[in-house]
A = this chain, B = another copy of it.
Amino acid sequence: MAVNLHIPSETDIHPVAGVDIGVTSAGINQPDRPDLTVLSLSRHSQVAGVFTRNRFCAAPVQVCQIHLAAGSDVRALVVNTGNANAGTGESGLHAAQQTCSELARLLNVRPQQVLPFSTGVILEPLPIDRLTAALPQAVNELGPDNWLQAAHGIMTTDTQPKITSQQIMLGDEPVAITGISKGAGMIRPNMATMLGFLATDAGLSPDLLQDTVRLLANRSFNRITVDGDTSTNDAFMLVATGQSNVQIQSVADPRYAPLFEALLEASRDLAQKIVRDAEGATKFITIQVTEAATADEALEVAYTIAHSPLVKTAFYASDPNLGRILCAVGYADIPDLDVAQTRLWLDDVLVAAKGERHADYREEDGQRVMQQQEITVTVALGRGDQSETVYTSDLSHDYVTINADYRT
C-alpha cells in the first residue's frame, strides 16, 4: 500500500544513548497487539515539543503542556494507541494524570517528569485500568534497541512502521539521530503531526531545543496534509539526551548547522513517511508554489491544491485533468491574483501559462508524469520571490473504505 516507504533494517537503526524503550500489549482497543510504549530518558535530557492547535486538544496534550511548563527534567514519555483520550472532559484529564503517576512510581521519578501521549478513537473513555496494569511489563522491556518495536507500538491505521535513523560526525564525535512517527488519516498538522518522536544524544540548551523543534516542525510535519483534518492529538517531540560528547549552547556553535540539517532530514523523512502511508495513498505528491509575494500566500495556494478532492481523485486516476489544479489556484484566497502571470508544471512539463494551456503542452506528456508514483506539481505565481513546499497524497477508493469502516 504505502508509496516508496523505506523501513531501515535493524542493523541500520542507531540506538540513542540515554533513551531506553519498552513496548507491550495493554489491550486498549484490541487484544494482543503492541499498543503501549514507554520511552525512558536519562537524567538531564532536554525535551521540547509542538502540539496541535485544535481547540478540542486531547487530555494528554493538555497534561504534556502543564508538565513541560513545570520545568522539571522530563524522564519518560508514555504512548498508547487505540484510544485518543480526546473529547473526554475531566475524567480524561484524570486518566492522563493517572498514567503519569503510575509510570512515575515504577520509574521512581515525579509524575510531572512524565509526558503522556494517546492516539486512536476520539470521544471514548480511555480504559485506564488496562493501561496501568500493563505499565510494569512495558518497564520490564526497557532497552536501547527497541525503536522498531516502538514504531509498531504507536501505529493506528498506519500500514507500515515509520522510523528514521542516522549517525553523523560532528568534528570527531559521533552523534545518533533516531526517531519514529505515526499517522495516516486526520492529517493536517497545525503544529506537528499526530505523533512524532525524534531523539539525539547531542546536548542542546533548553531554549535552543525549543527553537529547533519549532523550525523543524515548520519545515517537515507542518508541511504535510492528507485530508485537511487537524487532529486533536498532534504532537512532535524532540529529545536531546546529551549523552554524547557534543554539547551545543547556541546557534553560533559551528556544529549547530550540520546537526540542524541532519535533524531536518530526519524530521522530513518521518513526516513524509506519514504521507507515503496515508490512508489509501497510491501517489506521493510534492506541491511547490514559487514566485509568491509572501510565504503565507504560497502556503495558501499549496494547501488549496492539496485539499481539493477533485485534484486528489485526478492523481488517483493518473488523469492529467490539470484544469482542476488551475481551478484550485483560482479559488485560493488571494483576491488580487492575476492568472495571466501564473504558470503550472507537472515535474518538468510546462502545462499552462498566461491563464491557458501552453501551446507546446501535449496530453501524452502530462499522462506520462501522472502515471508516476511520485509527482511534483509546481505553480509559479509571478508575484514575488517566496516559495513553500507541501507534501500530500491522492484520494482513492481505499481512503473511503478505511474511513467508512474505521470503528467497525
Residues of A within 8 A of B (CB): 53-57, 84, 86-92, 121-124, 185-186, 188, 190, 227-232, 307-310, 313-314, 316-317, 319, 321-324, 326-331, 334-335, 337-339, 352, 354-357, 395-397, 399-401, 403-408
Contact = CB atoms under 8 A, between A and B. Distances in A.
A337 B55 contact: yes
A228 B55 contact: no
Given A122-B327, A307-B307, 16 more contacts: A55-B335, A87-B323, A88-B356, A121-B321, A122-B321, A122-B324, A123-B352, A124-B323, A188-B331, A229-B308, A231-B327, A232-B323, A313-B400, A321-B406, A395-B400, A397-B400
A84 B228 CA distance: 28
B89 A356 contact: yes
Contacts of A188: 331
B396 A328 contact: no
Given A55-B334, A186-B310, A400-B395, A326 B357 contact: no
Which of A190, A231, A356, A407 lies at the interface centre, i.e. has the most chain B CB atoms within 10 A of its CB?
A356
B352 A317 contact: no
Q: Is the interface of A mostly helix, strand, loop or mixed?
A: loop
How many copies the complex holds: the figure is 2
Identify the interface centre among A323, A324, A401: most chain B CB within 10 Å of its CB: A323
Nearest to A330: B56
Contact of A331 (B230, B313, B329): B230
A339 B307 CA distance: 26
B330 A57 contact: yes
A331 B122 CA distance: 14
B87 A316 contact: no
Nearest to A307: B228
A291 to B, nearest CB: 15
Contact of A309 (B231, B317, B334, B399): B399
A165 to B, nearest CB: 32
Closest 5 CB pairs of A and B: A122-B323, A89-B356, A56-B330, A123-B323, A317-B404
Contacts of A121: 321, 323
